[in-house]
Structure 1
Amino acid sequence: MPPTIRSAAQGRTIAVVGDIYRFLATGSETGGKYALWEALVPPGGGPPPHVHSREEEGFYVLEGQIALTVGDEKHVVTAGMFANVSPGTPHAFKNESDRPARMLISVAPAGLEEMFFEVGAPLAEGAVTVPPPAPDEIDRLKAAAPQYGIKLLLPGS
């Protein structure tokens, strides 16, 4: 498999429920071993609580801070900190600050990135702003999540 080398703005970039994900390595480039992407999370951004049935998920905060809830525990993860969440563990992250946060997210094995490609909205490489998520995007995420082994922990579900 050839090496994957990307510049600071390169990589497939999509908006996913209000956040911006720029993919640095996908399963097709790593033999399915892992996927890695940069996440730009605006104030108030982040996914709803959910559980992965397959993947380890790692978070490395590059800038800003993220409130990471794992089970019933909430942690404030700031620049330079790392957290890993094992499959089967309820978790969520949210930017509760008034500034954007930037982090690296990894999943192993790969595959979850395909869900984001399916439900997200394509953006130009290097994009740093995105409109709020449209209701149909949230509906697409709810419909696609179970196919990727993700259970969304939404009120009433």
Structure 2
Amino acid sequence: MLKFNGLVKYFLPKILGIILTAFVVQISTSPVLALTSRIDFPDYEPSPDPELIIGPPGEQFTFERTGKNTNNKFTLAKAMVPPGAGPTAHFHDDYDEWFYFPKGGFTLFMDPDTTYRNLSDIPNKTAPGANIQLIETEENGLYYVPRGHVHGFYNSSETPLPMTFVWAPERITQYFRDTGETVKKFPSDFKSDPSKLEAFVSDAPNYGINQSQYFMQYIQSISTAKQSTLRSSNHIEELKDLLSTPLS
């Protein structure tokens, strides 16, 4: 059974910057991770009946599109993320993800070079560890992370910040329903539920995710991202095509 010590086992602590200074590694130039800064998020038609879900560390998710109204093409959620919160290293086996940061303020990390083909590939166990690159997100930044690539993020500011997520195709909504708390209205403050954190990791493979229990579990090395990585395609045309899907 997994053992936990509050949120620190799962979600990146404020001392992450101190930890990272211990690593000196070669920076990759792979063009998999992508950013376009200072752009408007593509137009889409939100559901008139969104689902509100609180994640275990307190993030407030508003699921404006899910598989039930996109023909399972994609899921879109807006979120408010409290300071320090965000998932540790993980990957999805058969769906891609976009992140949009209206105000920046997050640290995003991923391995742009290694593709883990299926859930039997466990970094640092049955497969090589991930060599992650770090990005300090910019205002109105759009990032694309393809399936099979280890990634994660955390709110590195001192205040709650907004994000928008798109996963394609749809598979992930039930994961948040089962490991979070569905509500009719968000509370005025952020509340965490450490009791749900074990399921957040142990049940993740049921939804196509390998989720690490602590920050370095899947990670072999850490570096900062090169500009050549940041300037690569963010698949925005593909995203626009998905978001043009009418409500069904």
- Name the TM-score, length of structure 1 as normaliser: 0.87
Q: Secondary structure at the match of 1:139?
A: helix
| Aligned equivalent of 1:66, options 89, 106, 128 | 106
- How much identity, in percent, do the aligned residues show? 25
User: Which residue matches 1:117?
Assistant: 177
* Cα shift at 1:77: 1.2
- Name the TM-score, length of structure 2 as normaliser: 0.57
* Cα shift at 1:58: 0.4
Distance 1:145 1:96 in 2: 25
| Aligned equivalent of 2:203, options 119, 144, 147 | 144
| Aligned equivalent of 2:143, options 74, 79, 83 | 83
Moved more, 108-117 or 140-149: 140-149
Question: Does the CA contact (< 8 Å) of 1:59 and 1:105 recur in 2?
Answer: yes
Distance 1:82 1:127, change over 3 A: farther
Distance 2:189 2:47 in 1: 24
- Greater Cα radius of gyration, structure 1 or 2: 2
Q: Give aligned pairs, total.
A: 151
Distance 2:188 2:162 in 1: 11
Distance 1:11 1:5, change over 3 A: closer
Gaps of at least 5 residues in structure 2 are 1-44, 112-131, 219-248
User: Which residue matches 1:31?
Assistant: 71
Q: Secondary structure at the match of 1:115?
A: helix
Distance 1:66 1:109 in 2: 25
* Cα shift at 1:123: 2.5
Higher strand share: 1
Q: Secondary structure at the match of 2:102?
A: strand
Indicate yes or no: 2:89 matched with 1:49: yes
Superposition RMSD on alpha carbons, in Å? 1.8
Larger RCO (CA under 8 A, 6+ residues apart) = 2
Give structure 1 regions of 4+ aligned residues with deviation exceeding 2 angstroms. Answer: 3-6, 123-130, 153-157
Distance 2:106 2:52 in 1: 21
